[in-house]
Amino acid sequence: MGKVLQIRVTAVTWNEELVEDYWPRLVKLAGTVPVKSEGRGVLELVRRLDEGLRFMKWSEARQRAMGPGIREAARLKADLEAALADWDPRKANGLSDDLEDALDALERAYTE
């Protein structure tokens, strides 16, 4: 890293509209979680779902069906962010695939 130029390893959702295309029910559910306004990317979706699971009064059926998947997605998000902080883009890339797979499974497990 230079004196002025900073090098960063980050993960960004390059097209936030794709999030709703891939996981429409999860996006709708996440929209019911009252959090301070932020982006509509993958990492933000996981954060909202995790906070919803912890703080919202979701039905027992939803908590049983989706709780484990939401906790897994939150774990993967934390692991991905740790890999980025450790400057390990290869590991972060693999975790991003795992996170998207977890969101696919959650979309299928969606329960009212």
Task: Work out the mean pLDDT of the chain and round it to a whole number.
Answer: 95
Residue 23 binned pLDDT confidence (cut-offs 50, 70, 90): very high
**Lowest mean per-residue pLDDT among 9-13, 26-30, 101-105:** 9-13
User: Which residues are within 8 A (CB) of 93 and not within 5 positions of it... i.e. 6 or more apart?
Assistant: none
Residue 17 pLDDT:
96
Summarize pLDDT for 50-75 with one digit per residue, the tens. 999 999 999 999 999 999 999 999 99
Closest CA to 75 of 93, 50, 97, 57: 50
Q: How far apart are CA 99 and CA 11, in angstroms?
A: 12
pLDDT of residue 63: 96
Domain ranges of the chain: 16-109
3-state secondary structure at position 10: coil
